[in-house]
Amino acid sequence: MSRNLAIVLIASTLMAPGIARATYIFDAFPKLGTFSNPIGVEDPMDGTDRLFIAERAGRIYVIRNDGTVTSKTLFLDVSALITTQTEGGLLGLAFHPNYENNRFFYVTYTAENPRREVLARYSADASNPDVALPGSVLVILEIPKTNLYHNGGRIAFGADGYLYWSLGEDGIAHFAQDLTQWNGKLLRIDINNPSGGNNYGIPQTNPFAGSGGGVRREIWAYGFRNPWRFTFDPPTGRIWLGDVGENSWEEINIIRKGRNYGWPRMEGNDCFPLSTCDTTGLNVVLPLYVYEHFGSASITGGFVYRGPSNPSLVGKYIYADYVTGEVSALTWNGVNPPTNALLTVEPGIPSFGVDKNGELFIASFDGNIYRLFATPTAVDTPAIAGALKIGPNPFGISTNIAVSLMAPASVDLTVYDVAGRRVATLMNAHSAAGSHEVNWNGRDESGRTLASGVYFVRLNLNGQTAETRRITMIK
Segment among 87-91, 290-294, 371-375 with least mean pLDDT? 371-375
Q: Which long-range contacts (CB under 8 A, 24 or more apart) does 269-275 make?
A: 272/246, 272/247, 273/247
Residues of the chain above pLDDT 90, percent: 70
**373-396 pLDDT, tens digit each:** 775 443 333 333 456 788 898 898
Between these two residues, 134 and 434, which has the higher pLDDT value? 134
CB of 228 within 8 A of CB of 300?
A: yes
**30-49 pLDDT, tens digit each:** 899 999 999 999 999 999 99
Q: Is 87 left (phi over 0), alpha (psi -120 to 50) or beta?
A: alpha
3 state SS of 437: strand
Residues of the chain above pLDDT 70, percent: 91
For range 354-383, the mean pLDDT: 76
Q: Give the integer Cα–Cα distance in Å for 187 and 207.
A: 11
Q: Give the integer Cα–Cα distance in Å for 234 and 225.
A: 25
Rounded to the nearest integer, the mean pLDDT of the chain is 88
The per-residue pLDDT for 336 is 92
Tell me which DSSP letter residue 190 carries: B
**137-166 pLDDT, tens digit each:** 999 999 999 999 999 999 999 999 999 999
Q: Give the integer Cα–Cα distance in Å for 401 and 308.
A: 33
Whether the pLDDT of residue 61 is over 60: the answer is: yes
Q: What angle do CA 93, 183, 140 make, to 5 degrees?
A: 45
Consecutive H or E run containing 124: strand 116-124
What is the pLDDT confidence band of residue 17, given thresholds at 50, 70 and 90?
Answer: very low
Structural domains of the chain, ranges and CATH numbers in brackets: 3-374 (2.120.10.30), 386-473 (2.60.40.4070)
Q: Give the integer Cα–Cα distance in Å for 397 and 417.
A: 17
State if pTM tops 0.85.
no
Whether the pLDDT of residue 4 is over 90: the answer is: no
Surface-to-core class of residue 420, CB atoms within 10 Å of its CB (0-12 exposed, 13-18 middle, 19+ buried)? middle
For range 454-471, the mean pLDDT: 76
3 state SS of 352: strand
The amino acid that residue 62 corresponds to is V
Whether the pLDDT of residue 356 is over 90: the answer is: yes
The per-residue pLDDT for 307 is 92
Surface-to-core class of residue 18, CB atoms within 10 Å of its CB (0-12 exposed, 13-18 middle, 19+ buried)? exposed
Surface-to-core class of residue 119, CB atoms within 10 Å of its CB (0-12 exposed, 13-18 middle, 19+ buried)? buried
The amino acid that residue 361 corresponds to is F
Whether the pLDDT of residue 318 is over 80: the answer is: yes
